[in-house]
Amino acid sequence: MRERVDRIADPWGDRTPYGPGEPWPVRVDAFLEPGLDADRVERWVRTASLLHSNGDAMDIAVHDGRIVGVRGRAGDRVNRGRLGPKDLFGWQANRSADRLTRPLVRRGGRLVETDWDTAMSAVVERSRHLLGERGPGSIAFYTSGQLFLEEYYTLAVIARAGIGTNHLDGNTRLCTATAAEALKETFGCDGQPASYTDVDHCDTLALFGHNMAETQPVLWMRVLDRLEGAGPPRLLCVDPRPTPVARRADVHLAPRAGTNVALLNGLLHEVIRTDRVDRDFIERHTVGFDELAERVAGCTPDWAARICDVPARRIEQAAELLGGAERLLSTVLQGVYQSHQATAAACQVNNLQLIRGMLGRPGCGVLQMNGQPTAQNTRECGADGDLPGFRNWENDRHVADLARVWNVEPSRIPHYAPPTPAMQIFRYAEQGSVRLLWIAGTNPAVSLPELHRIRDILARESLFTVVQDLFLTETAQLADVVLPAATWGEKTGTFTNADRTVHLSEQAVHPPGEARPDLDVFLDYARRMDFRDQDGRPLVHWHDAESAFRAWQECSRGRPCDYTGLGYAKLRGASGIQWPCTDEAPDGTERLYPDGPAWATPDTCETYGRDLVTGASVSETEYRALNPDGKAVLKAAEYLPPHEDTSDEHPLQLTTGRTLYHFHTRTKTGRTPQLDAAAPDVWVELSAAEARARHLGEGDLVEVRTPRGSVRGRLRVTGIRDGMVFLPFHYGYWDTPAGHRPGEDGGRAANETTITDWDPASKQPLFKTAAARIALVARADGDHAPAPTTTASAPADPASVPPTTGGPDALATQTAEAPEGDER
């Protein structure tokens, strides 16, 4: 069966139902440039998705040296051929007319074109000057969650052992730092215990702050197909907005922002009170149960209901659902990670899973999800606040082992303090100790909180800023040197998704103009800086993507994220292999910890842990006393009120988030016609009751203001919980006359309003806990909010707003069988 479907109006496509334990049926999705038939495609080139974290395998269609479309790969374990809207249409951004094609340098206050040698010489000259005058701590790197593994690893070697700086972090600090920290706190080490295939087996699925339908649409297709098949799983959704997940949930809890720990403690209380715990599993595989039980003993549903503003009976129903599960799968994302007490809340989800004994077998596990396609690689490779290979910076043996791999003295690798998180790097730049900041593949002038402050930092005369990107972003407009980068489809490398599945992405076409792969830029910098190991040989001794991957394999050998059984040839044969992949597990590892945690002993763990309130490090001595045998740690947490609460002046809670059709700051999706048309501008969401109380209606132009700044947008009245206002965070200024800052019509970027605050353990900024007020600017006069009707932004009164459609240009094919030539 082959049909064409408007994948803007119907983002998840048709259903292919299946039952528990059955394989997920194939459905191959494809989209080609209008007017081009599949038989005119000259080559299909392997890759996987770039605009989310799911890792959907696909093939790029090439015709006449151009990317002309994509199709899903039928035999891949992640997507079985399916693609989401951003997969199907997002490739068109590669061909945008405003791609950067030559380097830029700032002269006389303006960015002007130059050649690569001049641009790189400027960066190298400033680097050498600062190393000589101020030392390694004057140089910092802030990278992305969208580069390739080979690029992160190369950058980590350059930063840690070449420069010798502790200041290397990624924008993954904004989305998955809490995922990593929660896994480390509980299991001693990063790495997702569960697998996407657990959706095929679970009888209960609990989603905590995870709008899967919009952030991982293909994974939601998998869930939808289970829901339509025999023996569907029961769903628990915790989210303050009426997401597509919430609409399908058996139990939906919509708590006040910042109260996740109170809610989770209430659920833990009920599961323990009703004795729905696996005491044998707890005894064999965990420590800390007695403290946990004592901590939540008074956290009754009535207590939690008062704090969370959720009915106590609904909390009891959720606990009954969790307690009655025989195969429980839990997932967590930004509704937890970007909110108050982020790590503490994420750890309580782990605790629920563990006291139920639901780990390491089909349908049982936890997915502390990622938000970007290669967020996992930043963590593995040491480009996101960790040492490569999940090594412990406080363990001298781990540092010495890394020094052996790099053939340098251990003292050359900075480990006198934790690697510096992103918010602290920008603080050091503000204070003047960081004098060179190299930003690769990210746009902090839109994505970081309290944007007026970030713009001021980036514009400082004392800070030399290098930006490596595809477009002249809001951040690039403030840079001293801009380096044009190649992107997905224009370079080769590997990337690893949220459930540890590794894909190879091959170069399909040449990058435009003089744009270069990020790896080539880093290799050129290392060569010009002449970094050497202790024997005088080049520190960075690889020369292309495949040799960089081989270097990474050696760094990963014997570590939790062991890649030694992988290789480009193997990845070209199979489609998606999960690490660890070794000689002992040549086909990869579907799920971790079938016999309990494997990397939690004091000698092997990635961290000794942190205090969840203060963020202070737990000492090695304390950890040895707590967990000598390397079990999972049931880390209890007390609920504490948010730092910024509502008041008479700011009576609403502000939360920010994503929409299905855009990714991050729209540098790619905003240049994709179908995606941009589905959500062309910022909007504001408010409940019907709150709108009536303020005499506001659909389409009114309103201003949302916090103590830090304001945003103007048209109002969408939705089913969001009362007392809350929502802003999508994607919108900046690159496509406005203002360029990189608010214009005369007011702010457009949600982060004009967000607070400079972060979780004490994960150091992740809190984008979902702020106080705001809303005011009318102008009546609608027939206008509607530019918000999709297919998502959590659906109007409370569907008849009041035209439905979101993509029209003829958004018609993609769906095929129930694999197309000819598609490798299974």
Radius of gyration of the chain (CA): 25
Give 625's pLDDT tier (boundaries 50, 70, 90).
Answer: very high
pLDDT single digits (tens) 376-391:
999 999 998 789 999 9
pLDDT digits over 3-41, tens only? Answer: 899 999 999 999 999 999 999 999 999 999 998 999 999
Residue 823 pLDDT greater than 80, yes or no: no
Q: What is the pLDDT of residues 237-284, one digit of tens each?
A: 999 999 999 999 999 999 999 999 999 999 999 999 999 999 999 999
Separation CA 412–CA 387 (nearest Å)? 13
pLDDT, one tens digit per residue, over 424-449 is: 999 999 999 999 999 999 999 999 99
Question: Is the model's pLDDT at 819 over the cut of 70?
Answer: no
Q: Looking at the predicted structure, is the pLDDT value of residue 87 above 50?
A: yes
pLDDT per residue as tens digits for the range 604-619: 999 999 999 999 999 9
With bands split at pLDDT 50, 70 and 90, how would you rate the model's confidence at 744? confident
Q: Is the pLDDT of residue 172 over 80?
A: yes
Judged against a pLDDT cut of 60, whether residue 820 lies above it is answered with: no
Q: How many CB atoms lie within 10 A of CB 134?
A: 15
Rounded CA-CA distance 570/563 in Å is 11
Residue with tokens 């829901």: 227
Average of per-residue pLDDT values in the chain: 96
CA 558 to chain centroid, in Å, comes to 27
- What's this model's pTM, rounded to 2 decimal places? 0.97
Q: What is the pLDDT of residues 282-331, one digit of tens each?
A: 999 999 999 999 999 999 999 999 999 999 999 999 999 999 999 999 99
Confidence of residue 821 (pLDDT cuts 50, 70, 90): low
Q: Taking 80 as the threshold, does the pLDDT of residue 1 lie above it?
A: no
Residue 736: C-alpha distances to residues 99, 310, 421, 742 (Å): 17, 41, 31, 9
Pairing of strands 770-778, 811-815: unpaired
In the sheet that holds 168-170, the strands lie side by side as 110-113, 104-107, 481-484, 464-469, 436-440, 139-143, 168-170
The arrangement of strands across the sheet holding 811-815 comes to 2-6, 811-815, 28-32, 66-72, 57-63, 43-48
Whole-number pLDDT of residue 741:
86
Render pLDDT for 334-375 as a digit per residue (tens, 0 to 9): 999 999 999 999 999 999 999 999 999 999 999 999 999 999
Token duo for residue 699: 């389409």
Q: pLDDT per residue over 520-547, tens digit each?
A: 999 999 999 999 999 999 999 999 999 9
* pLDDT tens-place string over residues 48-59: 999 999 999 999
Q: 749 in the Ramachandran plot: left (φ > 0), alpha (ψ -120 to 50) or beta? A: beta
Query: With pLDDT > 90 as the criterion, what percentage of the chain qualifies?
Result: 95
Mean pLDDT of 644-660: 97
Give me the pLDDT at residue 2, please: 64
Q: Give 90-122 pLDDT, tens digit per residue.
A: 999 999 999 999 999 999 999 999 999 999 999
Please report, to the nearest 10 degrees, the dihedral formed by the alpha carbons of residues 421, 427, 430, 436 taken in order: -20
How many Cβ atoms sit within 10 Å of the Cβ of residue 558?
Answer: 11
- If you average pLDDT over residues 487-514, what whole number do you get? 97
